[in-house]
Amino acid sequence: MPELPDVVIYIEALRRFVQGHRLERIRVVSPSLLRTYDPPLSAVEGRTVEGLRRIGKRIVWEMGNELFVVIHLMVAGRLAWAAPGAPVPRKVGLAAFDFDQGSLVLREASTKKRVGLWIVYGEDSLGEHDRGGVEPLEVTLDEFSVALLRENRTMKRALTDPRIFSGIGNAYSDEILHRARLSPVKRTGQLIDEEISRLHEAVRISLIEWTNRLRAEVGDDFPKKVTAFRPEMAVHGKYGEPCPVCGSRVQRIVYAANETNYCASCQTNGKLLADRSLSRLLKDDWPKTIEDLEEMGGKPG
């Protein structure tokens, strides 16, 4: 799932490629994509993209006259820049946004079709897409602590719940917790002040470092490889590989469709976390999939 660093890079690219340009038409080929009917698609066709912003993991186009286009890529949604009028790929294509200088193609490499497109009118309607989590790169340590301790959750759930923190998902939460040397199943209510401070710093460093790394990788181009699995990551997607800090093999927790990666030596004092016992522990604290958490707006539990 594209998370804060990925969405920021998408928005920066969209500012280069489409901001200030006229959106001539939107070609929607997947019926499940469009989540609103009023205002219609035609309300934004022919308008100029005046600005772009991020709400959590959502990309927002400012179209003037209080009209907005909202795109949530969910897990498998991706954007690609193509030649003007480029066809929408048959199996994975969802829509194309046509401009005079090119077309932005929206696709999803999944049969579940979770990607959503909304046309909304007014800031109040746009605000309904905000799950309420604080911006992790904008809050002070005190504000971060208040958000973190509002509910007694496992560390993994707290970081990825959009009601608590905006824009953090499965991949970067693994990286953050590894950098902070904290167990993914430790409860927020058990944290001491020094651990909260360490976590706050790990959030900032991880998200800033990865945003800068992706920015350098993309340059002035449009992002072509948006993935949650990167060779430079310390633990996410690295089950069985050596931890870059201590050399111990990276472990995993598998629960339903989710996998959490961690280093036992760095994060759990050498203790291996057994999936069977964790299933009972996480039952009341973790939706079955990250997709479910996004779709429910972080409301379960």
List pLDDT tens digits, range 141-172: 999 999 999 999 999 999 999 999 999 999 99
Section 134-138 average pLDDT: 97
Q: What percent of the chain has pLDDT over 70?
A: 90
Which of residues 299 and 47 earns the better pLDDT score?
47
Question: What Cα–Cα distance (Å) separates residue 89 from each residue in 14, 69, 84, 95?
Answer: 21, 22, 14, 9
Contacts of 148 (CB under 8 A, 6+ apart): 158, 164, 188, 191, 196, 199
Strand order in the sheet with 102-108: 23-28, 93-99, 102-108, 77-82
Compute the distance between CA of residue 11 and CA of residue 297 in angstroms, rounded to an integer: 22
CB of 164 within 8 A of CB of 158?
Answer: yes
pLDDT number for residue 112: 84
pTM exceeds cut of 0.85: yes
Structure-block tokens of residue 52: 């772009």
Specify the CATH architecture of the domain 152-295: Orthogonal Bundle (1.10)
* CA 49 to chain CA mean position, Å: 23
Type and span of the H or E element at 206 = helix 193-218
Tell me which amino acid residue 23 is. Answer: L
All CATH 3.20.190.10 domain ranges of the chain, comma separated, are 4-127
Specify the CATH architecture of the domain 4-127: Alpha-Beta Barrel (3.20)
Compute the distance between CA of residue 144 and CA of residue 261 in angstroms, rounded to an integer: 24
Compute the distance between CA of residue 96 and CA of residue 88 in angstroms, rounded to an integer: 6
All CATH 1.10.8.50 domain ranges of the chain, comma separated, are 152-295
